[in-house]
Amino acid sequence: MKRAIVLGNIVLQRALKIWQTIKNQARAHPRRTILFCVLAVLALGGVGYLAINQLSARHHWLEAQQALEDGDYEAALARLEKCLAYWPSDAQVHLLSARAQRLAGNFAAAYKHLQASEKTGGKSRESTLEGQLLAAMTGKLEEIEKTLGVHVRAGHPQERHILEALIHAYLSRHRSLEAEQLATVWIQDSRKDWQPWYLRAVARSQLSRDLLSTAFLEARKDYERVLELNPKHHQARFLLGNAYVLVGQFHDALPHLALYHEQKPGDWAGAVELATCLRGLGRIEEARRVLDDWLSVHKCTADVLYLMRGQIASDLNNPQQALDFYRQAEGLAPHQEKTHYHIAQALAALGKTKEAALYEEKWRLRVEWKGRLKELEQLAAKEPKNVAARHEAGVIALQLGQEKTGLQWLASVLVLDPGHRATHLALVDYFERIGNLPAANHHRQLAGKSK
């Protein structure tokens, strides 16, 4: 980045030198003034083009930094991509891109930018730290946690970034109580930072047992505080609106969800949540238009959008259309108990009682599994080293079709107990089911050694 700024200054200095040279030549040879003027225009035009590029790149760089500070990772990445078009070999731009990709959850892209940064600028303290933060958030928390803790206690200049990564890592490991505690410490030290309020809200949402729990109510207050400190934080606005919807406070939710949908029109989740809110207010036709307008422009890969559209069709007394939408939702996500329930309802309304009963049984079983999974999440948050709870949570999550979550739970078991036989056997079943026989055989061998 510094090199790019220096280059911009060199370009401007060169432009002045060219202008001075041509001006002197024109004075010495007045008959060639027109020729010299043409040359001046061409030369300064080229230099000017370079200068404009440098100024444009610097503008995108500053905008990317601000977007990252505001928590708008999508905007930050878009700006950084433009910076790289001008400065493809700039180590600092790649390093900031690595951070933005990491916070956006794009870990493979983050690793590539980190490598590019170290390749072009060499290994530095900043890139080493970014590598540690990336490791913490990608399954190597236990290996790096003590090192990061030392940095925090020593008052590291990047303390905020370290705390942020640690809390994200705790949340991904369902160590929600530790995440909440660390965020609270951060808030006490710096009450004007929006990041710890947001992360604590997420942790408290994980800790909430039900919609009337203290943790849930406190999470909602934390989201409100985030928006007081950072009104541009789109995700906090969306989650606050969602929190209001969950407790039936649709009038309070509507302005937040309407603004989010206006600012993020391509986000299917925003469209669904706004339609849910409008439906809760009895504004069914408006809810229908929100989803139909979205579907007319975007390709839908989200089952919940079709599910909500089916519910609206049911509200409008069209069970066949409702069933058609529910079938589309089931095609995208075959394991969702809500979809099974609504299919059962639509089939019953159409007089197809036998098929309706089958779907009702599927729904009942999955509701039981989800209830048990919630209990295990609470238990693991309070007892982070409870291997049995983590194993059972992983198995149930896989049964529910939540593959990523299930694998995270099972991986956390093997971190605590690498020889846990039941977990290796569960992974054998999973990898055989998806056709990954080498992985299945690997865990079968490990299970055999654990007898």
pLDDT tens by residue, 352-393: 999 999 999 999 999 999 999 999 998 998 899 999 999 999
Whether 215 shows a pLDDT value over 90: the answer reads no
CB burial string 160-172: b at 16+ within 10 A, e below: bbbbbbbbbbbbb
**Four-CA torsion 198, 200, 201, 202, nearest 10 degrees:** 90
Q: What is the mean pLDDT of the chain?
A: 88
- Which amino acid would we find at residue 172? S
Domain ranges of the chain: 1-103, 300-369, 385-449
Residues 103 and 69 sit within 8 Å (Cβ to Cβ): no
Q: What's residue 44's pLDDT?
A: 46
Q: What's residue 47's pLDDT?
A: 47
Q: What's residue 408's pLDDT?
A: 92
CATH-assigned architecture of domain 385-449: Alpha Horseshoe (1.25)
Residues 218 and 206 sit within 8 Å (Cβ to Cβ): no
Residues 150 and 129 sit within 8 Å (Cβ to Cβ): no
Percent of the residues in the chain that have a pLDDT greater than 90, as a whole number = 74
Q: What's residue 16's pLDDT?
A: 53
**Residue owning tokens 């406070």:** 249
Cα angle 101-333-280, degrees, rounded to a multiple of 5: 90
Task: Tell me which of 1.20.120, 1.10.8, 1.25.40, 3.40.1400 is the CATH number of domain 1-103.
Answer: 1.25.40
Cα angle 162-167-172, degrees, rounded to a multiple of 5: 125
Query: Is the fold of 1-103 the same as that of 300-369?
Result: yes
CB burial string 97-109: b at 16+ within 10 A, e below: bbbbbbbeebeeb
Q: What is the pLDDT of residues 219-265, one digit of tens each?
A: 999 999 999 999 999 999 999 999 999 999 999 999 999 999 999 99
CATH number given to 300-369: 1.25.40.10
Residue 447 confidence class, pLDDT cut points 50, 70, 90: confident
Whether 322 shows a pLDDT value over 90: the answer reads yes
Q: Which residue has the higher pLDDT, 4 or 137?
A: 137
Whether 33 shows a pLDDT value over 90: the answer reads no
